[in-house]
Structure 1
Amino acid sequence: MHKGLFAGGKVCEDAVMYEQKALHIDLGTGFYRVERIRDASVLGPIDFGFREWRRSRAFCFGGGAFMGSVLPGSNRLMFTGESPCWGGFYVSTMGGAALTFEDVGLNYVALSGRAAVPSALILRREGQEEVEIEIVPVEVGALRLRCEGEDREAGWKALERRMWDRYASTFSNPPRVLAVGPAALATDFGAIASSKIDSKGPTHVDCWAGRGGLGSRMAREHNILAVVFGGSHVDRDLDDRKLADRYFEQRYKMRMMIKDAEATRKYRYDPDLKTGGTLGVNFTKLKDKVLHFNYRSVEWPKERRLALHAELVSHYLEQFNRETIEKKQFSHCGEPCPAVCKKMNGPYKKDYEPYQTFGPLCGIYDQRAAERAVGFADLMGFDTISAGGVVAWLLELVDDGIVEPGAWQLPGRPKFSPDGFRVTEDSEHNASLVTTLLQGIIERRPGLDLSQGARVLADRLGAQTGRLREVRDRLVVNCSGEQGWMVPNQYWVPGMFSPMPVMGKYYSYYGEDFVPPRELGRMNAGRMVAELMLDNLGFCRFHREWAEELVPTVFREFWEQDVDLTAHHRALARRINAYNRSSFYESQRTVAVLHGFLRRKAEEGTPRPELEAWLQRFDADPREAARDFWYEIRKGVDEALER
């Protein structure tokens, strides 16, 4: 990889063409080749991954144009491929891991074929031109082992530790280990996980490419359970802090780290709210907009939702602030970053969405109980957002008597109402049911087989119980094609329930304001283009406040590429949109989420005549109104991307 360095808009004498390297591996034959890319249509890992997905449905990972640089957030590792749960091209990202991946001297890796036995892929480059490649057998039982002296090292953590102990000494610098857990083999929504490395090896600070089930894709389609990579390759990067500061000073009149600290205040610490991180800030600000008990709360009056926040969520939030914020248990993903967004309590990392889906959505309002649920889901390698959404649905089926507790080896029904809820005891009771259900999913017990996804399971449960409509109506997911599904991100806004080609990420507008659906579709498309650009350049979206504005300038000057990045990524979004198509909701509860949002905005006094008109239509016929609302969003998306 060669980079042309620019200062003050002038090309340095040693600037050369922007060249990239991709390693293609056929896991079935062991054949591999290195491709040198000088193609203006491939600017980053999403371009490359989409190209390879179209050609051969390859599974790919790689870093962006600035991996290894001093720019904060520029070392995200990007994964692309066919999502087994969503059912189309998907992008999933992992913080910090590209900092080590750069040591391999590659931009991208593309995997095709299937290893003969469950295996680990080893990528090592120690000074030489060629990358050493090993495909070594892995015992599936390693996913269920506990490593001596480390009580929490089960599941993917056990596999990661085994790979580290076996291979770390063969690298001159500490390598990074990617691993999957049992969920990748048992379900279609298994994640890829990796720990931040320190001098002693993997730490408690874990990083995830969680959404989209690409861990399941890597394990089930390619028979790869782990990847170990690293080396000593030294490349030329944007490592001149003075040059980086110059870009920021020209745009913002402040140095890079000062601007980044300002832009990432939410993720570090917000003194106005006296909390920090996604968990602290969101639970502080959302209040009556938090989603409870498998979304039942969207049909409750505002007074009841506010009371629930005051009585239960406040306990949950107070524990977090006392244990994590006051003690400043902060860390980062592996690259030095002022956001220090990893909010910890000992071995537990506290992010909003896992602690929301395995928190209020499952009727859990105590951090100890939530740690039990999230901790188990994490170790098993689930996409915790999807796992929490699915388990909340299963709990409601039991609570409503559609499925009896004994059918899933549960000792009783959940406490699934705020009335008389005991915050500690009932949270712990619900958490115990959650872990039993998760264990049943891993073991693929009768009625809990999610190997083909949640919508297929809903149809099976509906057939078994004779109550198909009731089973489906309680499952809140976005739909794609015949079987594709995705538990939505946990914000009660229409943007998270939009017909976008990629859902489960932030490729849509999720502002709290009411926007007419056609306009919302156009805004969604704009957000998809901007988020794709950040992903394609390898940036963490937590830095988007400045990165969306400044990175295009830095890219053009640093790489000597005369590229309109907005037009480039609109074209990429348009192509993805042509292949991936959402389908309308199957669930009445999802319709209720939209209906409740419109009702809430009307109660808040939103002065939009379109809001009143849509609310009247939802009041008259919710499902037909939701269908029209959904199609209007889709039209807006298509119009914006076709420009």
Structure 2
Amino acid sequence: MIILEIDVERRAVSRREIDASGPVEAALAIHKERETWRLDPLSPQVPVVFGMGPFVGGRLYGVHRLIFIFKSPQTGTLHVSALGGAAYKAMGMGAQAVSIVGRAPTPTAIFISQGYVKFAEVKPGDAYETINSLYREFKNFFLENDARALVVGPAAYTTYNGAVVSVDVDVRKGEFKLGAEDFAARGGPGTALAQGHNVAAIVVGGPKRPHFEKVTDAEAINQIFNKSFGRPYLDVLNEKTVKYRFDQKLRTGGTFGVNYPHYRDLLPLFGYKSIYMSREERVKHADLILQLFWKPFQEEVFEKGRSWYNCGEPCPVVCKKVWRGKKVDYESFHAMGPFIGNYLFQEAVPLVDKVDKLGLDAIEMGHLVAWLFDAVHAGLLKPEELGLDDTPAFDPARFDPHGDSKKNARLAGHLLDNFVNNSTEVLALVARQGIRKAARELEKRFSDRVKAAGVRFRDLAVYAAFGTEGYMTPNFYWAPGLIAPMYIQGRYWTNYNPTFMLPEDFAKSSYDRAVAEAYIDNAGICRFHRGWAEPVLAELYALVGVKPPTSQLYRDLAYYAKLAGAEPMPWESKRARDLVSTLARELGAKDWKFEDYDDYYEWWVRFFSTVNRLIFATPTTV
């Protein structure tokens, strides 16, 4: 792989080649060289690496994800985050990956095309307005290179939770492309760029040429698929991506359209308080959500007209479902919807838009808002300590789906702004330290309230712990695998199904999924395309003459976490433990009653021991 190494402090650029099959493997090599496990995640000497896989520019679809690899200020170890579609324009930047080090003296934009790099000062602000400003000021660069901007929002400079935001622009019209907005968000890559390097924007473009000519050979590609599936490529692609395009059985599509009717009463609500409800209660809430939250989207996007788009690469799956100009995905809308006690779809739209413009990770913000709402509800915090003028409605049993949804949405909007602005002492603490560390500090600061309420701050949150300070909140599924002791969480690098089994079996299924997901990210392939890509990935690498990765890839990520002091740690939060035990009871598990902490600890240890045995066994190939 050709790597551009950019020192933004010295404004120096070098170019070199690394023997790697994809951006994750290349980033691991760079971080090993620099021994970054010794350094603070926001040190200027800790690189943020982004790049693409070897399959760009040809006849394969869904292979144009731009992959960010960085030392996360949230977990304390390496994290991998993906941004859809951007590699379609980044393939012209003259390298397959970029490594950024140093700290610029002022907020800086980096322009990359055909191996050439330019720098400019930029005034960071609203992420969408930053993209607009870049386009207006550097229009010639966008036009000449058909470029795409990757920017941070204000949250990257004031919180641990900044995302990298990209909205593709139609360079001829100077307009945002509907649906072509995406985010590398989990783990704080925007914060790593902004606070670590003072990089506020990266603009990439250039001639759209494949890195390997064989990816343009439709006949060779079809031979691979005919051999593995007995059908040509496009037939297999259409079958394997049904959920994301349009599911005839459910008469809907996309993650938002499918997940609500599919998961129904297993949806996590009110910061996972729904795990304590009876099934009858959960069904009542699910019916309300389908009527008030899902149906408005369904009617607009699927029944009145098909408002479907892609992420910026010419992909036939058109997984981006757009409601009145706003892209709708399950995770972001659930975060600003039912998870925080808002069952009205129209109330969630401006909240998701605010999250996006501020440049925040939507999943983390759903957890953070729910946690703080619950802390107020429990009497651990006062509304004014969060800059709020009212108490959130956070009791599912007494919830008014109309009035309380509107109130909670209004309060959430204020809370998002207050969090990014560090408007109160409590929010400044949370913005600097994140949920896990802040919860400990708040327990000391408000020990009298903790005693009176009979519950700790940490027990209202759900997260997987790493080392002494790191953590990651789960995606929005009632699934033990999302908080199980895996070395990278917050993505789908685990068994994320609502299931329960013996810890050894669960660990094996989670490890297998993690390795497969690592391969897909390393290849720059959208995970919506994993159904066709995973079975033939080795053959696709052979097609382009690149040695495929082995499970050494995940092993190296795990070993880095050990060196960084950010290994998985046992559950600290009661609600995190309850997520496991309540699902076990829901599914009728007979062998695990989870009657005391020792039961949880035994399950966790057996899971982690099995994972480590699998990781450090002989590497297997793709």
Q: TM-score, normalised by structure 1?
A: 0.88
CA distance in 2, matches of 1:595, 1:513: 11
Any gaps of 5 or more consecutive residues in structure 2? 35-45, 618-622
Matches within 5 A, 1:41-440: 42-56=20-34, 57-125=46-114, 131-140=115-124, 143=125, 155-170=126-141, 171-198=143-170, 199-201=172-174, 202-205=176-179, 206-232=181-207, 234-235=209-210, 236-237=212-213, 238-326=215-303, 327-440=305-418
Letter of the structure 1 residue corresponding to residue 521 of structure 2: D
Confirm whether residue 532 of structure 1 aligns to residue 518 of structure 2: yes
Classify 1:225/1:509 alpha carbon distance in 2 versus 1 (closer, same or farther; 3 Å): same
CA distance in 2, matches of 1:409, 1:86: 28
**Post-superposition offset of 1:453:** 1.4
**Post-superposition offset of 1:573:** 5.0
Counterpart position of 2:611: 637
Letter of the structure 1 residue corresponding to residue 442 of structure 2: L
Which piece of structure 1 moves more, 199-208 or 519-528? Answer: 199-208
8 Å Cα contact 1:260/1:338 also seen in 2: no
Q: Give percent identity, aligned residues only.
A: 31
CA distance in 2, matches of 1:310, 1:502: 34
Confirm whether residue 490 of structure 1 aligns to residue 476 of structure 2: yes
Letter of the structure 2 residue corresponding to residue 393 of structure 1: W
CA distance in 2, matches of 1:252, 1:345: 36
Letter of the structure 2 residue corresponding to residue 422 of structure 1: D
8 Å Cα contact 2:5/2:14 also seen in 1: yes
Classify 1:420/1:75 alpha carbon distance in 2 versus 1 (closer, same or farther; 3 Å): same
8 Å Cα contact 1:453/1:483 also seen in 2: no
Please give the secondary structure, in 2, of the residue aligned with 1:630: helix
Matches within 5 A, 1:27-46: 27-37=8-18, 39=19, 42-46=20-24
**Post-superposition offset of 1:386:** 0.3
CA distance in 1, matches of 2:69, 2:541: 22
8 Å Cα contact 1:47/1:572 also seen in 2: no
8 Å Cα contact 1:372/1:431 also seen in 2: no
Classify 1:411/1:571 alpha carbon distance in 2 versus 1 (closer, same or farther; 3 Å): closer
CA distance in 2, matches of 1:574, 1:441: 32
* Matched length: 589
Please give the secondary structure, in 2, of the residue aligned with 1:501: coil
Note the alpha carbon deviations across 1:267-289, whole angstroms, 9 max, x for none. 11111011111111111111111
Which piece of structure 1 moves more, 279-288 or 306-315? Answer: 306-315
**Post-superposition offset of 1:187:** 1.0
Classify 1:567/1:139 alpha carbon distance in 2 versus 1 (closer, same or farther; 3 Å): closer
Which piece of structure 1 moves more, 384-393 or 396-405? Answer: 396-405
8 Å Cα contact 2:480/2:499 also seen in 1: no
8 Å Cα contact 1:529/1:573 also seen in 2: no
CA distance in 2, matches of 1:540, 1:508: 17
8 Å Cα contact 2:89/2:208 also seen in 1: no
CA distance in 1, matches of 2:84, 2:609: 34
Give the ranges of 4+ consecutive aligned residues of structure 1 lying more than 6 Å apart after TM superposition.
none
Classify 1:475/1:418 alpha carbon distance in 2 versus 1 (closer, same or farther; 3 Å): closer
Q: TM-score, normalised by structure 2?
A: 0.91
8 Å Cα contact 2:261/2:290 also seen in 1: no
Counterpart position of 1:148: none
**Post-superposition offset of 1:506:** 0.8
Letter of the structure 1 residue corresponding to residue 9 of structure 2: G
Counterpart position of 1:626: 600
8 Å Cα contact 2:113/2:145 also seen in 1: no
Letter of the structure 1 residue corresponding to residue 605 of structure 2: Y
Matches within 5 A, 1:435-454: 435-445=413-423, 446-449=425-428, 450-454=431-435
Letter of the structure 2 residue corresponding to residue 65 of structure 1: P
8 Å Cα contact 2:156/2:162 also seen in 1: yes
CA distance in 2, matches of 1:54, 1:314: 51
CA distance in 1, matches of 2:408, 2:601: 34
CA distance in 2, matches of 1:123, 1:565: 28
CA distance in 2, matches of 1:312, 1:96: 31
CA distance in 2, matches of 1:84, 1:388: 18
CA distance in 2, matches of 1:83, 1:508: 19
Matches within 5 A, 1:451-600: 451-466=432-447, 467=449, 470-559=456-545, 561=546, 563=547, 565-569=549-553, 571-576=555-560, 578-579=562-563, 580-600=566-586
**Post-superposition offset of 1:534:** 0.8
CA distance in 2, matches of 1:166, 1:317: 40
CA distance in 1, matches of 2:31, 2:411: 39
CA distance in 1, matches of 2:614, 2:528: 25
